[in-house]
Amino acid sequence: MIGSRLPRIGAAVAGLLWLAAQERFRGTPADASRLPWRLRVTLEGLGPTFVKLGQTLSLRRDLLPDAWLAELRQLQDRVAPFPRAEARRTVEAALGRPVEAIFATFEQEPMAAASIAQVHRARLADGRAVIVKIRRPGIRAQIDRDMRALVSVGRLALAVAPRLRRFQPLRLIDEIWINLLRESDFRQEARSIRRFGEAFRTWPALYIPDVIDELYTEAVLVQEMSGGLGIGDPSVDGPTLAQTLVDAYLHQFFVLGLFHGDPHPGNLFVMPDGRLCFHDFGLVGYLDGRTRRALAVYLQAFVQQDAVWLLDAAVDLGLLGGPMDRSVFVRGIEQILADYASLPLKDWSLAEAALRVARLGSGENFLIPQNLVVLMRTLFLVENALRTLDPDFKILDTLLTRGRETMEGALRANVATAAAARLKTEVALTAQDLPGLLAAWLHRAQRESGGPFLVMRHEGLESLEAHLDRTGNRLALAMIILGLYVAASLLMLHSVGPRVFGDMPLLALFGYALALWLSFRLVRAIARSGRL
């Protein structure tokens, strides 16, 4: 139950806040702070859910300094495997058959164990080698329990330290909670694998291991097993693979609208035939049509080194938001672009530039959307992979040639197709309704003395009228309250009327009480509206 975890989580958070207060009182410099280390150790001590939470926070380059990110990236799923009997029970319950009826061989000992799941090697009856990903029993209930407790602690922390509001912790907790539940549903991962496999089926340079039909559920996922060389192996064709990787991600960003969000070296390897293989689709990012267009504009503005254009593109993309002084932001972006202008082209980093632009806008009421957080992390990992494959690879050269063609072609096709389909549908519906609308309009015109009948609608005026009514009522009430305070003070001053409690005028006390009650009503109404 949540009650059993809440005291421990609360004590851990209180310990972190106490250390933060001590370091602030002592004036401890940021580079000497023990808080990042203490946070990592605390998360590890709280168990698998909080290890995952820390790993998710390590993506938030927009919120946390580099020292904190470096510490959180050390979090590993150091979790002991669950018993083999539980693994067998989970597989048989999920797939509805005994393990021996599904697999020719099934290795009892897992090849890897993590906080969400563990993986076993197996072989199907037709001889295919597969991996069996099995969800840890009870993990979804544990996630729900721990995250509910964290929400309660977060609310308490906000009451104690209101300055934390700028980080929007409750919204961040909800976001992480949703992502953890999504990651623990293997049907989502199976759908992603199938979508990527279908999208790249005709690409001779890429390989996506397929999911085995009818052998995946919410708790179990069976996938083809594959292996090869790491991308850092000196025997691989680095320049060719680097170009393949960039082409693949351009296609994912601007054509598919979804992308593999975790391309670290452990999830990328080279098949014996030279194909680049993607593994682990537990983290997938999504880009809708509007975001794809904004990303294309952002990349072009960066390539053209136009600070004003880049600012507008960053706002449209969602890297910046909330109130801003445009001149200050333009100067900040000009400095970022000037820094890159002094570097060799191969050392330019789209990911680093996006992060620096986002950090310009650390406003009170703005949090970068999760899909952009995943996007920035993916860009960092892709750039690291490219430098591993080909240290001299020039990303901007590719964007200026094949990248721009891919972006513009895909976006034109998507926009034209969607716009044409909508226009065709709307025209057809209007053509069907037009005779009836025209007949009704003529009938009303004849009824109104033969003159044309014109109806004008003002959308939004109702809400404006209601707002003005409320404002007028509050002003009137404020004047009445002021009058009551003045009248009660005069009655008190001149001791008019009967007295109670010795020499206290009864009418004056009544006036003060009524004024206080109305004041409370007015303040509460304003507070509920959210506008002071």
**What is the SS3 assignment for 519?**
helix
Domain ranges across the chain: 2-77+141-177, 232-422, 461-529
Sign of CA dihedral 339, 344, 350, 351: negative
Q: Phi first, then psi: what are they for 391, rounded to 5°?
A: -60, -20
Q: What is the token pair recorded at 300?
A: 């072009």
User: Which residues are within 8 A (CB) of 379 and not within 5 positions of it... i.e. 6 or more apart?
Assistant: 350, 351, 354
CA 138 to chain centre: 25
Q: What is the pLDDT of residue 292?
A: 87
pLDDT of 449 reads 55
Q: Residue 71 CB: number of other CB atoms within 10 A?
A: 20
Catalytic residue chosen out of the listed positions 146, 262, 312, 339 = 262
pTM of the complete model: 0.67
d(C-alpha 177, C-alpha 411), whole Å = 33
Interaxial angle between packed helices 139-160 and 2-26, expressed in degrees from 0 to 180 and rounded to the nearest 10? 40
pLDDT tens, the chain, 532 aa long: 555 677 777 788 778 778 888 878 888 887 788 888 888 888 877 877 788 777 777 767 666 777 888 888 777 666 778 888 999 999 999 999 999 999 999 999 998 888 888 999 999 999 999 999 999 998 888 888 888 888 887 787 777 767 767 667 777 788 788 888 888 899 999 999 999 999 999 999 999 999 998 899 999 999 998 888 888 888 989 889 999 998 899 889 888 888 998 888 888 989 998 999 998 888 888 888 888 888 888 888 888 888 999 899 888 888 887 777 888 889 999 998 888 877 776 777 888 888 888 878 655 545 677 788 888 888 888 888 888 888 888 777 776 676 566 666 655 555 545 555 555 665 666 666 667 766 676 666 666 655 555 555 555 556 666 666 677 777 777 778 777 777 777 777 666 667 766 677 777 777 778 878 787 777 777 766 655 5
Cα(298)–Cα(313) distance, integer angstroms: 5
- Cα angle, residue 135 at apex, residues 131 and 140 outer, rounded to 5°: 160
Handedness of CA 307, 311, 313, 318 (dihedral sign): positive
Residue 337 and residue 305 in contact, taking contact as beta carbons nearer than 8 Å: yes
pLDDT of residue 196: 93
Q: Residue 363: which region, alpha, beta or left (left: phi > 0; alpha: psi -120 to 50)?
A: beta
Six token digits for residue 172? 């961040």
- Determine the Cα–Cα distance for residues 425 and 409; give it in Å rounded to an integer: 24
Distance CA 208, CA 468 (A): 60
pLDDT at residue 132, rounded to an integer: 94
Q: How far apart are CA 28 and CA 21, in angstroms?
A: 10
- Are 488 and 511 a contacting pair, CB within 8 Å? yes
pLDDT at residue 293, rounded to an integer = 85
Decide if 146 is catalytic: no
